[in-house]
A = this chain, B = another copy of it.
């Protein structure tokens, strides 16, 4: 199903996959059934791509695993209102660059960049149903659990761990070695390594106090009524 694509003879393209023109598939790449490799996408040596994946406007490194249904490289969500009050789309023409040894979970979305390429560092692992907005830069060896959302232009250092369903506001920076508890919402830069949690996120001990105090306070208050 491919024409004008450069597919290494040791690569396997399964039945029902589509490889568009200009795509480059390295040695021993496997492309599962139903997957679409868009024009000019490059995939490094030994990367395994599951079923019904979409890769477009991106490069993927070596020894990666891309799980079923993941979408990499589509346009980000960037709009502005023009002088006539019309909603117009900002150009979304850069790339998503995926490092080596990266794992991307099922039905996860990673948008292409608008003012800088979206980057996923080497050895970073991303779970299912994660949203990574345009221009996000993620360092090396990060762990990003299920249903996390990282809004546009956020920056994560290396060895960052995001528990399930963590949300990161757009343009926020998070230092290396920060760990965020499940369901936290990060609204401001986090500059010191350590553990954080809550809504909005604060150092983890403070969040634990908030939770306990809210409970105690509510109990006291209700017994007085």
Contacts and interface: CB of A to CB of B under 8 A. Distances in A.
* Dominant secondary structure of chain A at its interface with chain B: loop
Given A34-B34, A199-B199, A215 B221 contact: no
Interface of A: 1, 14-18, 20, 32-36, 38, 50-52, 54, 56, 65, 67-69, 71, 74-75, 77, 79, 86-87, 89, 101, 103, 105-107, 109, 111, 123, 125, 127-129, 131, 133, 141, 143, 145-147, 149, 151, 164-165, 167, 169, 182-183, 185, 187, 199-200, 202, 206, 209-211, 213-215, 217-219, 221-222
Copies per complex?
A: 3
A33 B33 contact: no
A221 B213 contact: yes
B131 A103 contact: no
